[in-house]
Structure 1
């Protein structure tokens, strides 16, 4: 007997209506989900066995790459079934928890493979903080976050070290120094060596907090200095470069998502003119834009800061044009909905998607090669905003030193030292600084030289 209680066959249509997919996509999605529903009706439960049967039937009609691209619709449908109580739990989510997988797509790929059990077993990841030092590291991360630190990068380092310890159980009785030494030999790269030094400082300080009799160990700073020397220099976009990016964004080819060129254009405008990070672009809500006071509110971003940024009239004009186009495209008008709205999934863009789309604009504009990581990054627009702002101050006769604290607040930095990192010395900046010294500093030196 089937556990699928939908005698009127309305669940699929209700899901498609709720999701607000584009009309052109609905027939394909409806057929796809109806095939899933037909298999579910023939099984006592929506479980892994039912998913295996459905995938085998679909393999006869669809090529595997195309099928795996469409299963995201089934993922959302399964979550909808859980919400309305038609099924107790999502079988894909159960497999994710069982094998400690981060995403659903690898689970689907494993289920569609010739040997699903082996493919799923290969996905299994060690449980977070499951090593002999797991509780110690988990408590340290919780302590630092309770003190107001985000502690994301450090937590990733600790989790990698934890997985290494789980893969090497013979180190369970060794000292912390021995564990770190073995971890340092796991990879020969300079980045790994620098990470090991940072991790060692974190763990020895955490140990000192618990046992003050063991002082923190001094570590060699050379690996970190070598990595810092290899750090990629930011690319500073000139105003002409930014205009080139905006032209490419406005003409970005997107026949299936007509709003996307306006989305990209407005993202580049805010990334450069307001110096927003990619996560801040993705996190903007419609209600964060105040068209009366010409400001935007950036909420709870890095360092847990919320700030209100005034914008120029030209930037606000572009925002008004985008919001109007967004409304005409049928986007939700709830103030809590994402400002940058994705037509396909009726949701906001993620930070990774924001980065990918702006990077594609840079490639089309000729600033990056067609593939690879070489060339400017999205974050370089934020660097460019700082450098070009200081150039404008110099050219206007304003002393940048008097304005840096305001710029630091505008950028959302914790202190002025964080802002100084963004001041990349360019030839134009050197020239303007030399001119200011010639007109102001030389006169001071001449006065001191007089008897």
Structure 2
């Protein structure tokens, strides 16, 4: 009895055709899915028992790490079966929802463990906003988002506090102040202390809106100031550093994805020359690039702003080369397709994958250690763009103060104060500013007083 009705066994071929995998990968994926289908045909339903039987059969043929790298194909195939109505639900997605997980991969890893039930139980995460204050915090987040705030970071703070309350049910009858004190004592780090201060302010203000008879509590600003003083200074890349990164990106080893080196190269070009954030790079569509006018359109990014950026002729030439390479690689040509296209899954790169690839280039170029979070970040390319632009204005005799409002608009900031945060005083910048003062301002100090 088949788990799904497919007497002609055409569903797998149709799925591979729709997914537009590379021709060289299709035979492997077809064999992998056929083995899954053979096991499914011996079971009345695609459920947990069927998955266990298939995994046991595959463990005899494949090493576990290789098998876990391939199960994403089965995930996509199961989602396809749900879409066309041959099965009611993806059993892996069912387990993910039951244990409140964000990804399917931990579920597969647990199913291949010696004791799957214990491994799945260990993965269980508390339900979002499931504590005694859950409804109160959920409604507050919804209110702030209705008012136009993105409220992502604050929502993460509230969710962490919510998980702490669920793990400590004895606090259910305690006051908000007591809950916050216990939460502050849970970790000794300064970052956690500063986060607790911000969280306390949020919750007391939200409570005040519901009950004005309870005034908001004043919190000690010292933890936040200490964290601000320890905030890591951005790394400012020189033009020579950027050229080194571009050379490394061009030679990035990627035998299975020939377009990837050119993709990373173009990402670095736009991250530095246009000062784009990683999310803006990932969100670019093919239709956002206008090679005729030499502009790119950045749509609905941070602060819900859309801007059109003019590009240097050399940047436009690099974009034209990339788009030509992209076309030759078989990427979709509709304007809504992702500019930075992934050959393997026929989709755009995510912000996380953009950050990961550029970080790997930084490591290969010697700017970051082989592992760890120390060293420059991808966002430092945006800082470097601002500092090097101001440095170039100084050297060409332009007054940077007259140009900052244009730079602020180009960067997509709400006001000039956000742009000032990006101005890191480097030795070169300090020298140019001092020379400007020597030429323009210093003579005023030596002028003799008029009688």
TM-score, normalization by structure 1: 0.98
In 1, are the aligned partners of 2:3 and 2:42 still within 8 Å (CA)? no
Matched with 1:248 is 248
Matched, 1:401 2:401: yes
1:143, distance to aligned residue in structure 2 (A)? 1.0
Q: Are the structure 2 counterparts of residues 449 and 50 from structure 1 closer, same or farther at C-alpha, using a change threshold of 3 Å?
A: farther
Distance 1:318 1:124 in 2: 47
Contact 2:236 2:383 in 1 (8 A): yes
- Which residue of the partner structure matches residue 313 of structure 1? 313
How far apart, in 2, do the equivalents of 1:297 and 1:138 lie?
34
Deviation at 1:414, TM superposition (A): 1.3
Deviation at 1:339, TM superposition (A): 0.4
Report the RMSD for the aligned CA atoms in angstroms.
1.1
Q: CA deviation at 1:319?
A: 0.2
| Inter-partner Cα distance in structure 1 for 2:212 and 2:442 | 55
* 1:445 Cα offset (Å): 4.3
Q: Which moved more, 1:397-406 or 1:381-390?
A: 397-406
Query: What is the DSSP-based 3-state SS (H/G/I as helix, E as strand, rest coil) of the residue aligned with 1:377?
Result: coil
Does structure 1 conserve the Cα–Cα contact (< 8 Å) formed by 2:286 and 2:333?
yes
Aligned to 1:378: 378
Cα distance in 2 between the residues matched to 1:152 and 1:256: 36
Q: Flag structure 2 segments of 5+ consecutive residues without an equivalent.
A: none
Q: Give unmatched runs, 5+ long, in structure 1.
A: none
SS at match of 1:308: strand
Aligned to 1:223: 223
CA displacement 1:79-125 (0-9 Å, x = unmatched):
11111111111111111111100100001011111111111111111
- State the alpha-carbon separation in 2 of the partners of residues 397 and 148 from structure 1: 41
Superposed displacement of residue 227, structure 1: 1.4
What SS class does the counterpart of residue 187 from structure 1 fall into? coil
Q: Encode CA deviations 1:214-250: one digit per residue, 9 max, x unaligned.
A: 2211111121122122211111000011111111101
Structure 1 consecutive aligned stretches of length 4 or more whose deviation exceeds 6 Å: none
Return the alpha-carbon distance in structure 2 between the equivalents of residues 170 and 161 of structure 1: 15
**Residue equivalent to 1:84:** 84
Deviation at 1:448, TM superposition (A): 8.6
The alpha-carbon deviation at position 173 of structure 1 amounts to: 1.1
- Secondary structure of residue in 1 paired with 2:385: helix
Alpha-carbon shift at residue 444 of structure 1 (Å): 4.2
TM-score (norm 2): 0.98
User: Superposition pairs for residues 35-434 of structure 1, below 5 Å?
Assistant: 35-434=35-434
Q: Distance in 2 between matches of 1:166 and 1:369?
A: 38
For 1:401 and 1:66, the matched residues in 2 are separated by 57
Cα displacement string for residues 47-87 of structure 1 (whole angstroms, at most 9, x for unaligned residues): 11111111111111111111111101111111111111111
Instruction: Give the total of aligned pairs.
Output: 451
